[in-house]
Amino acid sequence: MGPLAGTQLLGLISLTAALDNGLLKTPPMGWMAWERFRCDVDCRNDPQNCIGENLFKDMADRLAEDGWKELGYEYVIIDDCWMSLIRDKHGRLQPDPSRFPGGIAKLARYVHDRGLKLGIYADMGTRTCMGFPGTTLDKIELDAQTFASWEVDYLKFDGCNSNPVQQMLGYPLMSKALNDTGRPVAYSCSWPCYQGGLPPYVNYSLLGDICHLWRNYEDIQDSWDSVLDIVDWFSSNQDDLQPAAGPGRWNDPDMLIIGNFGLSVDQARSQMALWAIMAAPLIMSNDLRNLDNSARAILQNKMAIAINQDPLGIQGRRLLQESSRIEVYWRPLSQSASALVFLSRRTDLPYHYHTSLTKLKYEPGNYKVYNVFDGSSVTRLNATTEISVSVNPSGVVMWYLLPEQQTETRSQTRQHHALL
């Protein structure tokens, strides 16, 4: 079915947009199981790491007790493999009883009692990606009601084992079904990544009306190559993707893998910086029980988080790809501020990159520049001043820039102190 026929088919569906519930005016933050813990269902031999209620309780405890919640990390999200292999006698999805003996509603209360929110996973095909019961078209309303009855706060709706027509019908129908429950549920759609991620096969205007966020591209893996592959795809297609994002509607390049095994410290800073520039969801997938200090410092960097959570909600862009293999990324922020990232694609030595704010199309004048990851500031940098930035191989330098005015407004002053 071509894009025109798909649009005509969607016109037959009466929809109430998921955005009616007013959620996710800034990108969601939290923790998700998949990248780090996959589909480990062996709770007999691996009770600490299997997909079961104890894992999610542990992560809720860590978010609540280790300073994450106060920074905005509020969602604890279950991914695939939580279900029993059969629905219950009423046709409802049910958790595996040996791994979730208390049920999802009780787990939701545990998470809510800690001031957090619970997310869950479903798939609109005949089976989930890992072979558990799917949510076919005839089950969408029932499953939405079930999730609401459990007081779930977030749904990731995958698309394995479904076809394009089912996806075209199912993703909008789930949006309406969630709204009809009366419970505010954040809705993450995987629809674009099953359609190549780009127009004309992906209608981002429609997605913004029915979903709060959507997966555009392939799953992230625990490697620097995977991070770069995602960044390159998003940057190469930024003219199509960047306008689609805004408050309540976010492109999702997938999880933060900081704190696992595949990234150096410099590469971890790079992922955090680039996800902040892209206005991406900050959903960690790591083991919060065993996180080293460098990973914690990166993920809890207040200025990087503030840039990501900027209320304007404008996704940033790649400005330059230099022959030196330095790339420059930029994002406009509220109060006339902005963020710059200098990324090195080199593998040899730190590189001294020379430029000026004028060369990067900044307006004339003086700027206060704050280095996000080392906390230093450069006062009164004029736009025409030649600057030299030393960037480590596969690392970044990230700046927060604020125009210096004769009289700084109170709101700018408050924002500046909040970032620091």
Catalytic residue ranges: 158, 219
The pair of structure tokens assigned to 16 is 């109430």
Identity of the residue numbered 238 = Q
- Distance of alpha carbon 193 from alpha carbon 202, whole angstroms: 9
- C-alpha to C-alpha distances, 150 to 107, 224, 309, nearest whole angstrom: 9, 38, 29
CB-neighbour burial class of residue 36 (10 A; exposed 0-12, middle 13-18, buried 19+)? buried
CB-neighbour burial class of residue 27 (10 A; exposed 0-12, middle 13-18, buried 19+)? buried
Torsion of CA 64, 67, 72, 77, to 10 degrees: -40
The number of beta carbons lying within 10 Å of the beta carbon of residue 1 is: 11
CA atoms within 13 A on the CB side of 193: 22
The contacts of residue 289 (CB under 8 Å, 6+ apart) are 58, 59, 62
DSSP 69: G
175 with 211: CB under 8 angstroms?
Answer: yes
Prior bond to 200 cis, omega within 30?
yes
Q: In whole angstroms, how large is the CA radius of gyration of the chain?
A: 22
Strand spans (E) along 111-199: 117-123, 154-158, 186-189
- Distance of alpha carbon 391 from alpha carbon 261, whole angstroms: 22
154 with 116: CB under 8 angstroms?
Answer: no
- C-alpha to C-alpha distances, 196 to 121, 159, 201, 203, 414, nearest whole angstrom: 22, 13, 7, 11, 42
